[in-house]
Structure 1
Amino acid sequence: MPTAHVLIADITGSTKLYEELPERDALSQISIILARMRTIIDECGGVCINSKGDDTLSVYTEAEQAFAAARAMIETEWANGMAVHAGAYWGEVLNHGTDVFGDAVNTSARLSVLAKPGEVLMGDTTFEQLSERNRALCVSMGGLKLKGKADPVRVHSFAVGDMDTQTVLFGAKEADNGPRTESAALQAGEREWTLTNGQSVMVGRSADCEAVLEHPWVSRKHGSFELRAAQLEYTDHSSSGSTVITADGQEFSLQRRSMPLNGEGVVLVGTRDPSIETSAVRYATNDLMRD
Structure 2
Amino acid sequence: MEQAVLFADVTGSTKLYETIGDSGAKRLVDACLDVLRAVTAAYGGRVIKTIGDELMAVFPGADAIVRAACEMQIRLSELDSAMQYGLSIRIGFHAGRLIEENGDVFGDAVNIAARMTGLAKAAQIITTEATAKMMSPELRDSTRSMGSFAVRGKAESIAVCEVIWQVENLTMITGSLPGDNPPTTMSLDLAYAGGLLTFRQGDEAVTIGRDASCRINLPVLCASRKHARIEFRRDKFVLTDTSTNGTYVRVDAARELVINREDFVLSGSGEISLGHGNGEGGPDLTWKVRF
TM-score normalized by structure 2?
Answer: 0.54
**How do 1:119-198 residues align onto structure 2 when only pairs under 5 Å count?**
119-161=124-166
Q: Is the 8 A contact 1:18 1:26 kept in 2?
A: yes
Q: Tell me by how many angstroms 1:37 deviates.
A: 0.4
**How do 1:6-85 residues align onto structure 2 when only pairs under 5 Å count?**
6-76=5-75, 77=77, 78=79, 79=82, 80-85=85-90
1:161 and 1:25 map into 2 onto residues whose CA distance is 29
Task: Give the secondary structure class of the aligned counterpart of 2:111.
Answer: helix
Give the equivalent residue in structure 2 for 1:206: none
Q: Tell me by how many angstroms 1:52 deviates.
A: 1.3
Distance 1:95 1:64, change over 3 A: same
Work out the number of aligned pairs and report it.
172
Deviations 1:33-71 (A, max 9, x none): 101101100001111101111111111121111001110
1:143 and 1:91 map into 2 onto residues whose CA distance is 18
**Tell me, which stretches of 5 or more residues in structure 2 are unaligned?**
168-242, 247-273, 277-291
1:122 and 1:83 map into 2 onto residues whose CA distance is 18
Deviations 1:140-165 (A, max 9, x none): 11222112211111111013437xxx
**How do 1:268-287 residues align onto structure 2 when only pairs under 5 Å count?**
none
Matched letter for residue 59 of structure 1: V
Q: Is the 8 A contact 1:118 1:159 kept in 2?
A: no
Task: Give the secondary structure class of the aligned counterpart of 2:94.
Answer: strand
Q: Is the 8 A contact 2:6 2:56 kept in 1?
A: yes
**Tell me, which stretches of 5 or more residues in structure 1 are unaligned?**
163-232, 237-255, 259-291
Q: Tell me by how many angstroms 1:124 deviates.
A: 2.3
Give the equivalent residue in structure 2 for 1:89: 94
Matched letter for residue 158 of structure 2: V
1:32 and 1:161 map into 2 onto residues whose CA distance is 22
Q: Tell me by how many angstroms 1:116 deviates.
A: 1.4
2:141 and 2:245 map into 1 onto residues whose CA distance is 39
Give the equivalent residue in structure 2 for 1:219: none
Give the share of equivalent positions with the same residue, in percent: 31
Q: Is the 8 A contact 2:61 2:95 kept in 1?
A: no
Deviations 1:75-134 (A, max 9, x none): 221322211111111122111202111111111111111111121111123201112111
Distance 1:63 1:98, change over 3 A: same
Task: Give the secondary structure class of the aligned counterpart of 2:58.
Answer: strand
2:5 and 2:55 map into 1 onto residues whose CA distance is 10
1:160 and 1:124 map into 2 onto residues whose CA distance is 16
TM-score normalized by structure 1?
Answer: 0.54
Higher mean displacement: 4-13 or 74-83: 74-83
Whichever of the two has the greater Rg, that structure is 1
Divergent runs of 4+, >6 A: none
Q: Is the 8 A contact 2:142 2:165 kept in 1?
A: no
